Amino acid sequence: MSLIKEITIPVTVTEDSERYPDEGAIFTQYYTVTFNTVGGSIVGSVTAIKNETIDRPADPVKDGYIFEGWYMDEKYTYRYDFSNGITESITLYAKWTEIPSAEEVWENPFRDVEESDWFYGDVRYVYENGIFSGVSNTEFSPNSTLTRAMLVTALYRCEDCPNTNKSDISFKFKDVDSESWYADAVYWAWSNGIVKGYSEEDFCPEKEISREEIAAVLERYANFKGKVFDEEASLSAFLDADQISDWAYDNIRWAVGAGVLKGRDDGSLDPKGSVMRAEAAALIHRFLCI
């Protein structure tokens, strides 16, 4: 059950327009970008010369909703990149996420999760939506490390635990028992290209997952869901960007650009650091809300 309802906001772009300043002058081609806020505050259309970029307008507002960005389609598949030049008239769609009512009080079952904790809202989200459970009825264990088995299980639950044919999973990964609590999730994630084994025979389900590894898994999960983001961030501002593994560099750029992965308080990315359960709750919450 999700507390957050996503609203698609259509944005319309007009047909290409051509203007001739004076007879004999050089021809200049103009395009129009129209912003459809679907109930939000009005954002005026913008006219731009071909191949020029436009400035991102001030975010619209809508009572009871959070603005999540501009998209090029009504299904929010393609987030618009304002660094691209305009080559045609387009309509952009505003994405809204409904703010849960303040009257909805969570009966928090976890004695190790306080309302003052930075991860309180993230833990609430993943717990209420059946993505994470506690390590016991009264403990979430936010500072425990996340394992590979835990991560694939969380993503598997995001998809409402689809049926799998795991009859050959024991053959694929000798360290995954087909009767284990994570077997269905491992097989689902592996068969859909979301995770890989550490070798042809080993999945290493109990191995702690690093921040660069979770970035790679979440980008593959985004591809699986058809979520396409072109906003790959520059990592030059992070103190330890040179410590990112070569294979994970583009995954980290994607995760930072999409707003899923954030730096540490000291300005580092800590790419090889372990992921805590509270962090994983926040990463998955951000991913599902973009």
Over residues 182-235, the pLDDT tens digits come to 999 999 999 999 999 888 889 999 999 999 999 999 999 999 998 877 667 889
- Residue 93: exposure state from Cβ atoms within 10 A (0-12, 13-18, ≥19): buried
d(CA 284, CA 58): 27
Q: In the chain, where do the E strands start and end? A: 6-8, 17-19, 28-36, 46-49, 65-71, 90-98
The answer to whether 81 touches 232, Cβ cutoff 8 Å, is: no
Of 157, 160, 201, 159, residue with least CA distance to 182: 157
Chain CA centroid to CA 270, Å: 19
Domain boundaries, the chain: 6-98, 120-288
Most confidently modeled range among 83-97, 137-151, 250-264: 137-151
Considering the chain, what is the average pLDDT of its residues? Answer: 87
